[in-house]
Amino acid sequence: MKLLNFIFLFLCVNTFAFSQSIDQSFFENTDQFFKEYTADGLVNYLAIKQGEDLESLIAIIEQASYAELDPDTKKAYLINAYNLLVIHETIKGYPTSSVQDIPGFFDRKKIKIAGREMTLNDMEKKEILKEFDDPRLHFVLVCGALGCPPITNFAYQGSDIDNQINSQTKKALNNPEFIKVEDDKLQLSQIFKWYAEDFGNSKSAIISFINNYSQQKYAENISVNYYNYDWTLNAASTSFNASSATPANAGRYIVSSTIPQGQIELKIFNNLYSEVIGDNRATFMTSSASFLYGINRRFNFGFNTRYRRVLNNVRPSSPFDVISDIASGSFRQGVTAFGPQIRYAPKPDWPNFSIQSSFVFPIGKDLSGGNGEQYIDWAGPSFYNQFFNDLSLGTRFSLFTDIGLNWEDIGKLSNGRINQVSTPLTAILSFSPTANSILYALGGFTPYYRLPFDYFIQGGFGGKYQFTKNVELELLYTGFTNKYLIANGGGAATYNIGFRFNI
C-alpha cells in the first residue's frame, strides 16, 4: 500500500511539473527574480546563493516541456531559462571571479531542461540560435561575464518579445563601451567574430547589421578590430539591500589564479626589513616590480625586477632611516636583478591553483660585498618557484597557501657549497568585512638546506583595499626571527606596502 501511495504521489508531482509549470506565473516569478537580484547589468550572486528563490524556477525548467508553446512565448521562455541556468551553474561554483574558472562551464557540465541533459553551449546553439535564426539573440543571452551585453532586471515576455529584444540590441550597439572607435578603427566585441556567420559572415554584413540599430553610422570600409573579451564575473560588489550587505568575492586573497587572456597585471611591492642586534641596526628596503600579460587563460608571461636600498647604522635609529636619513650610516642602493617570469595553471579542474616561476639575473658589480662595498643582493642568478592555491571557507573567509622552491646565488661557492636552496611555506587566512576590502593574518616558515641548517619564521597581519576593480592597495606588518637573531638576542620586523594594477 505504501508503495502504491508513493507511486501515486510521484506521478502527481511530475504531472504537475509538466502540465502546470510554464504559464504566466512562471514569467511573473522570473520577472520578480530578476527585479530582486539584478541591477545595472550585474547579478547579486551572493544573495541568490543564500536564498531559495532560484531553485523553484530551475525545478520547472528541468522538468517542464515547452514544445507546445507558441513561437514568441517559446522564444521568451528559452531566453529566460538560459539566463537563469547560467546563474544557477555560477552559483554552484561561487565564489569565483569568472565562469571560465569553473571547469567545463559551457562545454562539459550538463544542465537539465525539459527532462533532457545538455551543455549550455548546446542549449544556446541548438535549442535557441538554430531554432530562431535571430542574430539579435546574442544581445539578450547573457553568459555571466562583463563582456556580455548586460543582463536585464526583467523577464522576457512572449507578448512583447520582439520589442524587448530590439530594445536590448539597440542599447548594446549604442553603448560606447561595447562598440568602440579608436584611432579611426571600429573595435568590436568578440561576439561578432565568434558568431560571424549569424551576422552575415562578412565585415560589410556586420557593419550593416550594426548600422541598422546604431545612431552612429559607420562606413562599410572602416577598419575593424576585435577587443579582448572581459570574462570577469558580472557580479554586484555588494548586496542591494544595505541591511544585509555582504561581500561578493573579496574574501579571497586572489593571487593564485592566472589572469585572463589579453589582461595586464602590474604589481609593485615594497618590503622594508629591519633587524636589530645590540646597538646595530641593518635595514633592507626591496622594491619589486612584476609585469604579467595573459597569453591565454592558463598561461601568463612577463618579467620582474628589484631595486634595493641598504643601510647599516647604530641605535637609536629608525627602520625608515633607509628612506629619510641615509647619511646616518653605511648606505648602498641600486637596481640589482631582472628576469623573465611566468604564471601557469596546469590543471583546468583546479581553477585556484597556479605555479609562478621567475629567473632573475644580477645587475651591478660586487653585489654580495667586498672591495669596500657592503652586501646588497646575491651576486649570482636565482630561480624562484611558487605554488599558489586558495580555498574559500564560506562567503567571508578564505585560506591562501604559497609553497616555494627557491635556488638563489646559483654557481657562487661559499664554504664549499652552492648557495642556497630553500622551501618557503606561507599561509594566509583572510576575512572580508566589506566587498572591497579584506583583512588577513599571515604565518610563514622558511628552511634553508645548508650546513649548518638555518630557517626563519614570520607572522603578521595585513589588509587589502580595492579602490576599483583595477586598482588595489595592500599593507602588511610581520614580526621576524631566525636562529641567528635568537642566539644573539636580536629582533626583526618587516613593513610592507604594495599596489596592483589590472589593465
> What tens digit of pLDDT does each residue of 244-281 get?
333 333 445 666 778 777 788 999 999 999 999 999 99
226, 252, 272 - which closes a domain: 226
Provide the pLDDT for residue 414. 54
- Give the torsion sign (CA, 327, 332, 338, 342): negative
CA 270 – CA 267 distance, rounded (Å):
10
Q: Give me the torsion for CA of 400, 403, 409, 414, rounded to 10°.
A: 130
Q: What cell numbers appear for 428 in the block? A: 594566509
Shared-domain flag, residues 63 and 121: yes
Provide the pLDDT for residue 9. 44
Q: Is residue 490 part of a domain?
A: yes
Confidence of residue 21 (pLDDT cuts 50, 70, 90): low
Provide the pLDDT for residue 397. 83
On average, the pLDDT of the chain sits at: 86
**DSSP code of 375?**
P
Shared-domain flag, residues 35 and 169: yes
Inform me whether the pLDDT recorded for 7 exceeds 60: no
Q: How far is CA 375 from CA 151, 266, 333, 448, in A?
A: 58, 28, 10, 19
CA 174 – CA 185 distance, rounded (Å):
16
Inform me whether the pLDDT recorded for 482 exceeds 70: yes
Shared-domain flag, residues 411 and 268: yes
175, 205, 226 - which closes a domain: 226
Half-sphere exposure of 396 (CA within 13 A, CB side): 8
Provide the pLDDT for residue 452. 77
226, 252, 276 - which closes a domain: 226
Q: Is residue 211 part of a domain?
A: yes
Q: Is residue 245 part of a domain?
A: no
Inform me whether the pLDDT recorded for 3 exceeds 80: no
Shared-domain flag, residues 218 and 132: yes
Provide the pLDDT for residue 451. 74
Confidence of residue 94 (pLDDT cuts 50, 70, 90): confident
More confident residue, 150 or 348: 150
Provide the pLDDT for residue 495. 97
Q: Is residue 403 part of a domain?
A: yes
> Which residue range(s) make up the domain with 92?
2-226
Q: What cell numbers appear for 489 in the block? A: 638576542
**DSSP code of 229?**
P
Cis ω on the peptide bond leading into residue 316 (within 30° of 0)?
A: yes
Shared-domain flag, residues 195 and 299: no
Q: In this structure, are residues 319 and 493 in contact, taking their beta carbons and an 8 Å threshold? A: yes
Instruction: Identify the burial level of 48 via C-beta atoms within 10 angstroms of its C-beta, where 0-12 means exposed, 13-18 middle and 19 or more buried.
Output: buried
**DSSP code of 227?**
P
Provide the pLDDT for residue 470. 78
Mean pLDDT, rounded, for 345-353: 73
CA 297 – CA 352 distance, rounded (Å):
12
Inform me whether the pLDDT recorded for 134 exceeds 70: yes
- Give the torsion sign (CA, 151, 58, 27, 138): positive
Q: Is residue 237 part of a domain?
A: no
Half-sphere exposure of 340 (CA within 13 A, CB side): 3
Shared-domain flag, residues 221 and 290: no
Shared-domain flag, residues 222 and 284: no
Number of domains present in the structure of the chain? 2
Percent of the chain past pLDDT 90, that is, above it, reads: 60
Q: Is residue 255 part of a domain?
A: no
Confidence of residue 433 (pLDDT cuts 50, 70, 90): confident
Indicate which CATH number applies to the domain containing 406.
Answer: 2.40.128.130
Shared-domain flag, residues 283 and 220: no
CA 306 – CA 98 distance, rounded (Å):
31
Q: Among residues 377, 50, 486, 45, which one has the least CA distance to residue 235?
A: 45
Q: Is residue 251 part of a domain?
A: no
Q: Is residue 10 part of a domain?
A: yes
Shared-domain flag, residues 190 and 314: no
In one-letter notation, the amino acid at residue 322 is V
Shared-domain flag, residues 166 and 300: no
Q: In this structure, are residues 423 and 445 in contact, taking their beta carbons and an 8 Å threshold? A: no
Shared-domain flag, residues 70 and 216: yes
Instruction: Identify the burial level of 93 via C-beta atoms within 10 angstroms of its C-beta, where 0-12 means exposed, 13-18 middle and 19 or more buried.
Output: middle
Listed range (56-65, 293-302, 382-391) with the worst mean pLDDT: 293-302
Provide the pLDDT for residue 10. 45
Q: In this structure, are residues 36 and 57 in contact, taking their beta carbons and an 8 Å threshold? A: no
CA 491 – CA 351 distance, rounded (Å):
39
Residue 49 three-state SS: helix
Shared-domain flag, residues 355 and 473: yes
- Tell me the whole-structure pTM to 2 decimals: 0.59
